[in-house]
Amino acid sequence: MNNKIALINALIPTEGINTYLKNIILVLFGTLLLAVSSKIQVPSWPVPTTMQTFVVFIIGMTYGSRLSLATLVIYLFEGALGLPVFAKGGGLSYLIGPTAGYLYGMTIAAYLMSLFAERGFSKSYFKSLLPLSLGTIIIFLFGVGYLGSVIGYNNALAAGLYPFIFSELVKIGLALALIPTIWKFTNK
């Protein structure tokens, strides 16, 4: 992996561990975190305020790009199968419903953040701000964009963006404080 090292590999080295088994466990753990974080919410309509984007930040900034993408795709698959992993349940309807854009945006955002993290952006407080900000922008571009096609763009901005700006800034701040600090303790 040359210069590209994911934080998760610095925390859980692969020496003596079956890499496939480790990755399967990490994917399942990631989808469990996403499911639990979707239930930690402040009710609002049509998009509830959850801790999901914070977990997406953590996965994106700690897992490698392939592992983060696999985690989010498996999470969507679990939801499509009807498992109650989304904020208000599960089923195929969530993948085409009003909040579907946020789900797809989270998947793309996690992958993009991981690409930056693999290049060392997660090791610095200052550099971490870029992928976390881009991840947030992607989530809301997809989320508000799709929601707007369903309820109108002015309504989508009012219901799907403006109420979340402060909470997203707090989540970015938490991730920003956490990820580079953990790197400092890995000595890598």
* CATH code of the domain covering residue 21: 1.10.1760.20
Specify the range with the lowest mean pLDDT, choosing from 18-22, 120-124, 178-182: 18-22
**Residues 37-95 pLDDT 10s:** 999 887 666 666 889 999 999 999 999 999 999 999 999 999 999 999 998 899 999 99
User: What local confidence, expressed as pLDDT, does residue 1 receive?
Assistant: 37
In a domain, 150, yes or no: yes
Nearest Cα residue to 49 out of 111, 97, 99 = 99
Q: Say if residue 3's pLDDT is above 60.
A: no
> What CA–CA distances, in Å, run from 31 to 63, 77, 79, 112?
13, 10, 10, 18
In a domain, 140, yes or no: yes
In a domain, 77, yes or no: yes
**Residues 123-173 pLDDT 10s:** 999 999 999 999 999 999 999 999 999 999 999 999 999 999 999 999 999
Average the pLDDT over 109-122 and give the result: 96
Give the chain's domain count.
1
In a domain, 136, yes or no: yes
Name the residue range of residue 171's domain: 7-186
Q: Say if residue 188's pLDDT is above 80.
A: no
In a domain, 2, yes or no: no
Nearest Cα residue to 139 out of 161, 158, 116 = 161
